[in-house]
């Protein structure tokens, strides 16, 4: 059976699911339109909609064109090929709720390097100009919105008729199954992992490709790249590089180990990541703010520090588990809780919970530097418009909700051991505050 996701009341859960299913697609288009055609001004878009009404909104929505489909298809096929064929070491994922252990090929960093080198070379040698991507961005997002929706319907059908493993099941409700997904790690054949493709190789990879695209667009339009854009692009690239450096670690996180392949994760990574996560850079293309070298450097360093701390939190937890609690944490033997739990197949297993280091400050301290890093790659846009900050606000809400979902899941998994952890580490995210 599918793990129940109703952390909030059923009414609130249905309301938020239906709202996200219906509101996210038009929001992607509104955000793109505002950034690219309305000077980044929410008021300008609002005025347009007030004057033109629904008809105006429909006219604003770009139709997916052949060029858009071709760009998406070339990119998707290229990434799928790299995922399948680049060499990489064999990595075992964490034990799933049904007691399975998925196996992956860790070739993310190589795929990342090949992708960026290929993209920059295509531009440098005049074979393909990335500004074509920027100039068709609306059509690409539109095609992604519809294409990914169909993709999620196919995932839903696959979950019913051809699940890849026993980590699959229905909640008995079509909307919940479509929204949260049916399978934990659906595959095509034995080796092609669909969530690795949607989350890492399509979604996260598109973040770096689009960050470069925005930079190149500004360069080609103005003959130079403003320092604000350089800081934004550099920080986003450091973040995505960190992600691929640590990709095998990502396979132990909630997205992969707990959230099933449905609209929430897959549509989110295929559409929301390329459009919303990259939006501060999309704004900067037409707003080349000059920060001055000193301010630009301070922002860059602050952002890199936050990305490093976020990385170190994830690394600390994973090293702690990998060494079975034997490695040092901040130079000392770690303090820990040995927690037992029962899998859905009735087996008793045990896990270690770290209660010192970053994980002793609060139960989800790693979200603090994650949010601050996003702030630092947005702040080069300064404060003329509010929309570039949408991603930071969205991320804060997402991570606060995620911390609650994770706490609830861990409480039901570990019972009294989680209670003990909460007594030892009472704050959920911000030490001393929340
Ligand atoms: P993690 O999966 O990394 O951590 C939560 C899990 O870790 C829990 O479910 C539990 O799993 C285990 N755990 C919890 N407490 C402890 C402990 N004290 N000691 C050892 N293990 C523990 O969280 P996330 O997936 O949320 O985050 C991973 C990374 O991704 C972070 O860097 C985060 O900032 C980033 N992120 C970014 C997002 C974005 O949109 N930009 C969105 C979400 C995350 P178990 O069942 O194994 O015990």
Mutate to test the pocket of ligand 1, among 7, 250, 253, 408 (most ligand atoms within 8 A of CB): 253
424 and 314 assigned to the same domain: yes
Phi, psi of 322 (to 5 degrees): -65, -40
Tokens of 206: 């598109």
324 and 350 assigned to the same domain: yes
Closest CA to 403 of 358, 372, 434, 357: 434
Neighbours of 343 (CB within 10 A): 15
Single out the residue in 263, 290, 317 at which a domain terminates.
290
Q: Contact 419/411 with Cβ under 8 angstroms?
A: yes
Single out the residue in 255, 290, 325 at which a domain terminates.
290
What is the average per-residue pLDDT within 76-83? Answer: 98
Domain contains 354 = yes
274 and 296 assigned to the same domain: no
CA of 93 to the centre of ligand 1 (A): 14
Q: Contact 212/128 with Cβ under 8 angstroms?
A: no
d(CA 120, CA 212): 9
56 and 114 assigned to the same domain: yes
154 and 278 assigned to the same domain: yes
In this prediction, residue 7 carries a pLDDT of: 57
Reported confidence tier of residue 1, pLDDT bands at 50, 70, 90: very low
283 and 307 assigned to the same domain: no
271 and 298 assigned to the same domain: no
63: pLDDT strictly greater than 60? yes
pLDDT digits (tens, 9 = 90+) for 7-53: 567 788 788 889 889 999 999 999 999 999 999 999 999 999 999 99
- Nearest CA residue ID for atom 4, ligand 1: 253
Single out the residue in 227, 262, 290 at which a domain terminates.
290
CA of 382 to the centre of ligand 1 (A): 31
Closest CA to 250 of 198, 305, 208, 300: 198
Domain contains 118 = yes
Total number of domains in the chain: 2
Tokens of 269: 């990574």
SS3 of residue 351 by DSSP: strand
283 and 303 assigned to the same domain: no
258 and 384 assigned to the same domain: no
152 and 210 assigned to the same domain: yes
Mutate to test the pocket of ligand 1, among 366, 397, 407, 429 (most ligand atoms within 8 A of CB): 366
C-alpha neighbours within 13 Å on the C-beta side of residue 179: 20
Domain contains 7 = no
pLDDT digits (tens, 9 = 90+) for 278-287: 999 999 999 9
377 and 298 assigned to the same domain: yes
What is the residue range of 63's domain?
Answer: 12-290
What does pLDDT average to over the chain?
A: 93
- Would the CB of 3 count as within 6 Å of ligand 1? no
104 and 201 assigned to the same domain: yes
Q: What percent of the chain has pLDDT above 70? A: 98
CA of 253 to the centre of ligand 1 (A): 5
pLDDT digits (tens, 9 = 90+) for 280-314: 999 999 999 999 999 999 999 999 999 999 999 99
373: pLDDT strictly greater than 90? yes
Closest CA to 260 of 206, 336, 202, 183: 183
DSSP letters spanning 110-136: HHHHHHHHHHHHHHHTTS--THHHHHT
d(CA 195, CA 183): 10
Domain contains 5 = no
Domain contains 409 = yes
Domain contains 89 = yes
- Would the CB of 335 count as within 6 Å of ligand 1? no
Domain contains 2 = no
Domain contains 347 = yes
In this prediction, residue 8 carries a pLDDT of: 64
Q: Contact 32/60 with Cβ under 8 angstroms?
A: no
């Amino acid at each position: 059976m599918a793990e129940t996701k109703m952390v909030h009341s059923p009414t609130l859960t249905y309301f938020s699911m239906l709202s996200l299913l219906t509101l996210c697609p038009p929001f992607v288009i509104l955000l793109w339109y505002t950034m690219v055609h309305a000077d980044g001004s929410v008021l300008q878009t609002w005025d347009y909609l007030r004057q033109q009404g629904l008809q105006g909104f429909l006219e604003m929505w770009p139709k997916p064109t052949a060029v858009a489909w071709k760009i998406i298809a070339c990119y998707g096929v290229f990434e799928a090929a790299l995922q399948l064929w680049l060499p990489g070491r064999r990595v075992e994922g964490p034990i799933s709720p049904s007691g399975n252990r998925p196996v992956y090929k860790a070739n993310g960093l190589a795929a990342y390097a090949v992708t960026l080198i290929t993209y920059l070379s295509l531009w440098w040698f005049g074979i393909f100009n990335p500004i074509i991507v920027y100039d068709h961005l609306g059509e690409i997002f539109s095609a992604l919105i519809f294409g990914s929706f169909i993709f999620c319907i196919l995932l839903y059908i696959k979950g019913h008729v051809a699940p890849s493993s026993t980590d699959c099941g229905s909640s008995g409700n079509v909307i919940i199954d479509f929204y949260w997904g049916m399978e934990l790690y659906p595959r095509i054949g034995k080796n092609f992992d669909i969530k690795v493709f949607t989350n890492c190789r399509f979604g996260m990879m598109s973040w770096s490709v689009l960050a470069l695209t925005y930079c190149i667009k500004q360069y080609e339009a103005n003959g130079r790249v403003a320092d604000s854009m350089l800081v934004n692009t550099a920080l986003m690239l450091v973040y995505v590089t960190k992600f691929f450096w640590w990709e095998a670690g990502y396979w132990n996180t909630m997205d992969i180990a707990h959230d099933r392949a449905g609209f929430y994760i897959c549509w989110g990574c295929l559409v929301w990541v390329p459009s919303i996560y990259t939006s501060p850079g999309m704004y900067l293309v037409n707003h080349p703010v000059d920060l001055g070298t000193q301010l630009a450097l301070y922002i860059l360093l602050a952002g890199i520090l936050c990305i490093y701390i976020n990385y170190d939190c994830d690394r600390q937890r994973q090293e702690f588990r990998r060494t079975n609690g034997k490695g040092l944490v901040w130079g000392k033997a770690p303090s820990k809780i040995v927690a037992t739990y029962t899998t859905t197949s009735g087996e008793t297993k045990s896990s270690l919970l770290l209660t010192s280091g970053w994980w002793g400050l609060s139960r989800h301290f790693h979200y603090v530097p994650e949010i601050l890093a996003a702030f630092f790659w947005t702040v080069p846009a300064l404060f003329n418009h509010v929309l570039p900050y949408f991603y930071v606000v969205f991320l804060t809400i997402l991570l606060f909700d995620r911390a609650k979902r994770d706490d609830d899941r861990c409480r039901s998994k570990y019972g009294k051991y989680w209670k003990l952890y909460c007594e030892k580490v009472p704050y959920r995210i911000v030490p001393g505050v929340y």
